[in-house]
Amino acid sequence: MKIHADPSITPSPGDFGARVDGAANTLLVAPALAEFARRHHLVTAEALAGFASAFPSALASSLSWRAASVLTAVQGLNALMASNGVPVGEAQAPRRKRVLGLG
């Protein structure tokens, strides 16, 4: 699901205020959040949610929020995407690096 800016959306700590445009299959977010996604080469809602859950302090500093507020907002975003048929879950969770033993 692509990300597009909507100037009418104002995020607040713990809530991105995102909406889904089902006809265009896009996630509408505040311009500041869309700009953050663009700067970090996050073109899909799934990528944004995954990045925000893995690196909440990066997004928190951009929005002047606390990291805990970003994580709360990510939960809401995941619920919004799931209710609109976008797969969440494993794609959103950072994967553990596999450690290989020698010998």
| pLDDT, tens digit (0-9, with 9 covering 90-100), for 51-102 | 999 999 999 999 999 999 999 999 999 999 988 887 765 444 455 667 777 7
Q: How far is CA 97 from the centre of its chain?
A: 22
Global pTM value: 0.79
**Token pair of 44 as six digits:** 């899909």
Taking a C-beta distance cutoff of 8 angstroms, is the pair 19, 6 a contact? yes
Q: Which amino acid is at 44?
A: T
What whole-number distance in Å separates Cα of residue 18 and Cα of residue 36? 14
Confidence at residue 99, expressed as pLDDT on a 0 to 100 scale? 73
Q: Per-residue pLDDT for 35 more than 90?
A: yes
Q: How far is CA 41 from the centre of its chain?
A: 12
